[in-house]
Structures are given as C-alpha cells and as structure tokens.
Amino acid sequence: MTHLEREIRRTFADAGVHGRLHAAPIGGPAREVGVDPDEPVVMASVYKLPLLVAFCRRVDAGEIDPRERVTVDPAERTAGPTGLSVMRDPVTMSWRDLACSMISVSDNAAADVLLRRVGLAHVNETLSDLGLERTRVLGGTADVLDSLVADTAASDTAAAFRALTSNDAAPAVRAYDAVLASATTPREMTRLLAAVWSDRAASPRQCRLARELLGAQAWQHRLRSGFPPVGVRVAGKTGTLAAVRNEVGVVQFDGERPVAVAVFTRAARAEELVPRADAVIGQAARLAVTDLRSGRL
C-alpha cells in the first residue's frame, strides 16, 4: 500500500465512511491512483451516466429525435427531491431536456421516463460494447424504491427511507448490495468518462452534449468541493441512496489534461444529512488529482 493510498483511506475513515476510488488522466500517460478500484460498488444515481450514453447512441442511430416533445404526467412520476419529481402539473419537454434534468439535478422522474424510451437492454448493450463488463444496470429509480419498500416491509417510500435513515435499525436491503443492485467498479466509471471525453462513447456531437450536461450539474458539495472555484472545471454525476454517497466526474485545471475520478462511499451513520460524508468525496479526489498532477506516479 502506497503512502497516498494510506492517506486517502485515512481521509475516508476520518469522515466515517468506507470509500473506494479510482483516478486517471484522460489521454495521457498510464498513471492512476486507486483505492480498491476494481471492487464492485452500488451505483445509485450514477446509473444515469450509462443511461445518458445509451440515449446519445440511440440519437446517433436515428432511433430517437432528441427534440421530440413528451408530456410527463404527475401520476406517472417517480418520487424524488428534484426536477419533475416535485412538480404538480403535467410537463412537456424534449427528450434532450429530460436528459438535461436527469443529469443536472439528478431528476428521478426524468430518468425513468428516459429509461423507458431508451430501453434497459440498450443501456446494458452500450456498456458491453464499451467493454465495461462489470457494470450493469438492473432498472431505474422506481425499481429501487419498490425494492426498498419491500425489503423494509414499509407501507410506502417515505416509510422505507425513515427505516433506512435510522441509526436504531440496520435493514438489509438489496439496494445496498452490489450483487443485487445496479453496480459498477470505480475503474470502469473512469473508463466510461474517458470514452465520453475522447468522443469514443458516441458521436463527437453527442459526446459534446454529454460533457455539457455533466458540466451543468448543480450539486457542488461533493467532488466540486475539493477544488478551487476558479481555474478548475468539474463535471460529474452524483449518486445518493441514504448512506450511499457517490460521484464520478472529470476535473480539469486550465491548460492541463483532464482527470477522470470516481469515488464511491457508504457512511457508517444512517442519517440523511452527513456533510462530512459528502465533503470527503472532494477531499479524496483532491488528494488523488494532486498526486497525478505532480507527476510522482
């Protein structure tokens, strides 16, 4: 174990999380930083990144018109804290803007509507075609919420989350198990990001769209928090499910090569809000990226 790996592990432990990480420059020397980078991890909403890439590919194939408009009814929406999930009335928008809401604010409702249009099989075919054999998507957010209700024997989604975020109980739920849930590895997520950033995941036009949407992500308290506000661009996708907090993204200092980073964590505390567990994602990413920028590896 290297000194850097020990330092990153200590940073995770100080924040009260179990974390895994992989970081590597895109298109540069074969350098990397890893903390259990090949261990399977639960994706949570990080699954929306493979869904975005599959959407881009179906647009490339002429199978989806990204400007076609679709109306989403409140009765059909998946629960969630953002985007269409919290709106009261029917909303009509394009497939492309649904993708934007799915990535920029992690809109659960938009993601499930888009998943039904793209098709789960196409998402997993995309992953296989890109050589990401250890990454699989088993369903959308609605499927995860249904499993939580069943696994906690709750009456509804709100009650399931109350059970999941209580420190007085430790329910065993499929959504926390990388064998039973949509899962990946940190290394495969940095490989997917590298494919998007090098125009290999889809056409250059669609990869540019994907990069723009990832760059529009609203949440700044995880990966972005580890880097200076000026002179650094951070694009990413978060994933959250009670004690699970993730983010995968690309960090680029002005004039430098971009670095793909994937951080997956699970907190020891079950509360919904654990700010240190969010911030450690940025802290661990900063340690990895700083070392890669130094050229020590």
Query: What are the counts of helices (DSSP H) followed by strands (DSSP E) for the chain?
Result: 10, 9
Instruction: Say which DSSP state 242 is in.
Output: T
User: Which tokens in the block code for residue 255?
Assistant: 């004039």
| pLDDT value at 141 more than 50 | yes
Round to whole Å and give the CA distance between 168 and 280.
Answer: 24
pLDDT at res. 294: 84
At 296 the pLDDT is 56
What is the per-residue pLDDT across 240-282, written as a single tens digit (0 to 9) for each?
999 999 999 999 999 999 999 999 999 998 888 889 999 999 9
Q: Find the mean pLDDT for residues 133-149.
A: 96
The answer to whether the beta carbons of residues 251 and 259 sit under 8 Å apart is yes
Segment 108-119 shows an average pLDDT of: 97
pLDDT band at residue 297 under the 50/70/90 scheme: very low
Contact call for residues 51 and 123 (beta carbons, < 8 A): yes
